[in-house]
Amino acid sequence: MGLAAATAPWVTSATDAAAGGTATQGRAAQGTATQAAGAQPDGPGIAELAHQMVVGRISAVELTRYYLERIERIDRRGPGLRAVIEVNPDAMREARRLDAERRTRGVRGPLHGLPMLMKDLFDTADRMHTTAGSLALEGGRPKVDSAVAAKLRAAGAVLLGKTNLSEWAGGISITHHPGWSARGGQTRNPYKLDRSPSESSSGTAVAAAANLCVAGIGTETNGSIVDPAAANSVVGVKPTVGLISRAGMIQGVPSQDSVGPIARTVRDAAIVLGTLVGVDERDPATKASRGHLHLDYTQFLDDDGLRGARIGVPREVYFGYSSHADEITEQAIEVMRKAGATIVDPADIPTAQQLEDTETSIVVQAYEAKRAINRYLSTTPGDHPRSLPELIAFNREHADRELLYVRQDGLEAIQALDFSDAEYRAALATNHRLSRTEGIDAVLRQHRLDALVMPTSAPPGKIDLINGDNYLGGSSTPAALAGYPAINVPAGFAFGLPVGITFIGTAWSEPVLLRLAHAYEQKSQARRTPTYRPADIGL
């Protein structure tokens, strides 16, 4: 079996016991998963694993074998998380090659030999599929790596596989079915198996939480990184649009789409972020990142980074939909205050309600999504639908699997709505005005703030494949429409269900947000390992 789980140096006994799959083990692990202050609840992070490789304690082959076996034991069997939609059939070969390269040529980068998972939206020029969770794209065969896959390979990462998601990044249906796709089935929350994994990067967040990889890559249009990160008690970084190239990715709304890391700690997320940034001629949005990007974001991490910071609390809209999220966020704010931060409360975003109500978001989403889907389908080699109308027809023909739980009213609405270029440009300008100059930037400027903080979302509700999951509220819209950065950090638990907080800032403020998020993480020590509680009548 390779390295035994009980002796693997990167796994705690609490994590491994909880992952065994029985109700008794799950409940027992819940009590033991709370770690002492300062402990690492999931074992060593990226830097420590890299050091263990340097000193020869572990190899890429051993680590990759361990994760592949863990995916089989926990994701496919056991609790049956269904976070991984596909494993790379060449993962072990890549690991052997990287071990040999380490011996003969040295280390490529900070991720050399470390297994990573990526959302099933990124092209990989290998034997893996790129499908957005859709059966229609199983015949697609990208000939070139996406920019993200190329960056990971260049940094020496082992591409372990791809993660499940809400099909077409949630765009297939207007009804809320987070973590479900026809190809991957339903992803389940590792803290309680009948709870929602939340939003389209759910597979990546669940995989990171359950230690099925060192870290993973997600994408966000509006909430698809930060919300599942919150629901699964991990760190999720949604960068400024343009910091990371989207070339070779199945995009939804390019003016809002971000690529970002999901990891168990802020430090690990910062390391991954630095490997992904860069100007790419294939993605014109990245030109704006010149002069703003950093190859090493760990330089901004400071355990005392909250001292002297000015943090605003936007209460209008972003509080009040969940008493549990509110209570945990109030506790988090008190941690920040005690750590030396100046809390400005309230510091409301002037346009908060307008951002939630504006119909210009529908114009932008429909206009961009139709063109993005058609562009990808028409240019990707392979036997698959070549346009959005053909995709809709395919789904109807395979309704017994593709439309088992969801309608494709989302795709049909995108196809039916037809806005002119002028209407689109006006709507996009309105979105940017309300979210940037009259929104986030206005409140930051008024109160001289470094960032804003608010609950990310409510504790995850139950999975409901028939009616769609219940969604109470969230805080992702301002940063989404602005294209600005946001970071979710675990903040606590309500009845064993995770709750996170989100820091947001102005464009290119990732260094500031990472500093604040890391300092809060170190002070709060809020994350726990998953408990894998089974479904029951009550909680």
- Select which of 173, 181, 200, 289 is catalytic: 200
Q: Where are the domains of the chain?
A: 13-348+435-524
- Which residue is listed with tokens 């990462």? 157
User: Which tokens sit at 381?
Assistant: 């080699």
User: Which tokens sit at 81?
Assistant: 């998380």
DSSP symbol at 137: G
pLDDT of residue 176: 85
Count the Cβ atoms, other than its own, within 10 Å of residue 91: 22
Within 8 A by CB and 6+ apart from 106, the residues are none
Number of H helices, E strands in the chain: 19, 13
Q: What is the pTM of this model?
A: 0.94
Nearest to 223 by CA among 197, 255, 201, 205: 201
* Pairing between β-strand 235-238 and β-strand 486-494 as defined by DSSP bridges: antiparallel
What are the backbone dihedrals phi and psi of residue 148, each rounded to the nearest 5 degrees, phi first? Answer: -70, -45
Could you tell me the sign of the dihedral formed by the alpha carbons of 246, 518, 233, 270, in that order?
positive
pLDDT of residue 539: 57
Give the DSSP H/E element, type plus range, for residue 502. strand 497-504
pLDDT of residue 412: 97
Angstrom distances, CA of residue 253 to CA of 107, 241, 242, 280, 362: 37, 11, 13, 19, 11
Distance separating the N- and C-terminal Cα atoms of the chain: 36
Give dist(CA 160, CA 95) in Å, integer: 9
- Select which of 146, 196, 202, 224 is catalytic: 224
Which amino acid appears at position 76 of this protein? Answer: R
Nearest to 525 by CA among 233, 181, 139, 274: 233
What are the backbone dihedrals phi and psi of residue 374, each rounded to the nearest 5 degrees, phi first? Answer: -60, -40
Give dist(CA 423, CA 408) in Å, integer: 25
Beta bridge partners of 161: 87, 117
Give the DSSP H/E element, type plus range, for residue 493. strand 486-494
pLDDT in tens, the chain (539 residues): 233 333 354 444 344 555 553 332 333 222 222 232 223 457 789 999 999 999 999 999 999 999 999 999 999 999 999 999 999 999 999 999 999 999 999 999 999 999 999 999 999 999 999 999 999 999 888 999 999 999 999 999 999 999 999 999 999 999 889 999 999 999 999 999 999 999 999 999 999 999 999 999 999 999 999 999 999 999 999 999 999 999 999 999 999 999 999 999 999 999 999 999 999 999 999 999 999 999 999 999 999 999 999 999 999 999 999 999 999 999 999 999 999 999 999 999 999 999 999 999 999 999 999 999 999 999 999 999 999 999 999 999 999 999 999 999 999 999 999 999 999 999 999 999 999 999 999 999 999 999 999 999 999 999 999 999 999 999 999 999 999 999 999 999 999 999 999 999 999 999 999 999 999 999 999 999 999 999 775 55
Q: For 534, how many CA atoms within 13 A lie in the half-sphere containing its CB?
A: 12
Is 119 an active-site residue?
A: yes
DSSP letters along 47-115, please?
A: HHHHHHHHTTSS-HHHHHHHHHHHIIIIIISTT----EEEE-TTHHHHHHHHHHHHHHT---STTTT-E
CATH superfamily, domain 13-348+435-524, is Amidase signature (AS) domain (3.90.1300.10)
Give dist(CA 408, CA 172) in Å, integer: 5
Is 200 an active-site residue?
A: yes
Could you tell me the sign of the dihedral formed by the alpha carbons of 504, 484, 179, 521, in that order?
negative
3-state secondary structure of 192: strand
Would you call 251 exposed, middle or buried from its count of C-beta atoms within 10 A (0-12, 13-18, 19+)?
buried
pLDDT of residue 139: 84
Give dist(CA 478, CA 268) in Å, integer: 26
- Select which of 119, 192, 370, 523 is catalytic: 119
DSSP letters along 249-313, please?
A: B--S-TTT-EEEEEESSHHHHHHHHHHHB--BTTBGGGGGGTTT--S-GGGG--TTTTTT-EEE-
pLDDT of residue 140: 86
User: Which tokens sit at 174?
Assistant: 């207007």
